[in-house]
Amino acid sequence: MILAANLKTNHTRHSVKEYLQAVTVFIQEEAIGAEAVIFPPATALRKGTSAVSIGAQNAYPVKSGSFTGEIGTEQLEEFELNTILIGHSERRHLLGESEAFIRQKFDFFAQQGYRIFFCIGEPIEVKEQGFEAVMAYIQTQLERIDLGYDNLVLAYEPVWAIGTGKTASSEDIAQVHSAIKKLCDKPLLYGGSAKPKNCAEILSIEGVDGLLIGTASWESKGFCDMLQITKTIDKD
Ligand code: PGA
C-alpha cells in the first residue's frame, strides 16, 4: 500500500524538514508497513529518509538548459530524487499542460528510469455523462503511455473531487478502479478529498492500492493519522 502526500504550493524548506522528520519517526515508532512518499514544493526538495521517499511535483523533461522557471533532472538529482508526479489535474487544467506535453514528459522521465506517479481522472461534465464516458476519457489519457513501464504508479483522481471535499462514492471508485486495472496492472492510487475520516473505507475497496492525498496531508498529523489507519486494512 502506498500513501503519497502532495503538498502542492504549501510549506517551506524549514517546515518540510520538520514534516519529513515527524513522518519518519512516526513510521519507525508505529512500525507502519505502508510506503510513504512526499511531494514537497520545488524549493523544499530534499533527500528522503530510510522510511520516506521524496518526489518532485513537477520538472521539465530535460537535464538542464534554457527553460526559465523550470527545473530538470540535474536539479532533482542533486537531492538523489528519482520520483516524479506527472499529469496532475492542476497541471493539466490550471497550468495548461497538453496531452502531447504530458506524454513527452512521461517518455523522458521513463527513459531516465524515474518512478512515475501518473495522474488520470475526469472533469465533472464527463462524470455526468456516465461510466462509459468516464472510461473513454481515461483511456484517452492513457493512450500512447507505456503502461508496461516497470516504475509506474497510477493515480485515479476525479477532477471534481480534488480539493473540494467531495469524494467519489465507494461504488464509483470500485467500478473505475476495476476497469483501469483491466487496462493496466500497476499500483493504482485513489486521490480526491481523501482524509482520515474516509480513508479506511476507500483503502478497503478492491483495486485501491493506496492514496494520493492533498489537503488532508498538509499537516504531518493528518498524513500520520492516515498512515496509522493503513494498519487496520486487511487486504491480500
Ligand atoms: P485533495 O488533493 O486531497 O486536496 O483533494 C488531491 C490531489 O490533488 O492529489
Task: Tell me the pLDDT tens digit for each residue of 44-83.
Answer: 999 999 999 999 999 999 999 999 999 999 999 999 999 9
192 lines ligand 1 (CB under 6 A): yes
Please check whether residue 155 lies inside any domain of the structure. Answer: yes
Please check whether residue 1 lies inside any domain of the structure. Answer: no
Please check whether residue 236 lies inside any domain of the structure. Answer: no
Q: What is the pLDDT at residue 236?
A: 65
Query: Distance between CA 97 and CA 230 in Å, rounded?
Result: 33
Query: Distance between CA 60 and CA 90 in Å, rounded?
Result: 16
Query: Distance between CA 123 and CA 137 in Å, rounded?
Result: 9
199 lines ligand 1 (CB under 6 A): no
Stretches where the chain sits below pLDDT 50 are none
Please check whether residue 38 lies inside any domain of the structure. Answer: yes
Contact, 224 vs 26, CB < 8 A? yes
| CATH code, domain with 64 | 3.20.20.70
Nearest CA to ligand 1 atom 2: 214
Q: Which is the closest atom of ligand 1 to the Cα of 89?
A: 8
> Which residues, in sequence order, are CB contacts of 41 under 8 Å at separation 6+?
7, 8, 9, 10, 11, 16, 57
Query: Distance between CA 146 and CA 160 in Å, rounded?
Result: 26
Please check whether residue 139 lies inside any domain of the structure. Answer: yes
C-alpha cell at 183: 487496462
Please check whether residue 45 lies inside any domain of the structure. Answer: yes
Substitution candidate for ligand 1 out of 37, 58, 89, 162 with most atoms within 8 A of CB:
162
In the Cβ-directed half-sphere of 114, how many Cα atoms lie within 13 Å? 31
Active-site residue identified among 88, 90, 122, 177: 88
Q: Which is the closest atom of ligand 1 to the Cα of 212?
A: 9
Q: How close is the Cα of 179 to the center of ligand 1, in Å?
A: 22
Q: What is the pLDDT at residue 167?
A: 87
Q: Is 88 a catalytic residue?
A: yes
Substitution candidate for ligand 1 out of 39, 190, 212, 218 with most atoms within 8 A of CB:
212
Please check whether residue 217 lies inside any domain of the structure. Answer: yes
Go through 64-96 and write b for each residue having 16 or more CB atoms within 10 A of its CB, e for each that does not: eeeeeeebbbebbeeeebbbbbbbbbbbbeeee
Q: What is the pLDDT at residue 226?
A: 98
- Say what the pTM is: 0.97
Q: Which is the closest atom of ligand 1 to the Cα of 8?
A: 8
Q: How close is the Cα of 139 to the center of ligand 1, in Å?
A: 21
82: domain range?
A: 6-230
Quote the number of domains for the chain.
1
Q: What is the pLDDT at residue 235?
A: 78
Please check whether residue 235 lies inside any domain of the structure. Answer: no
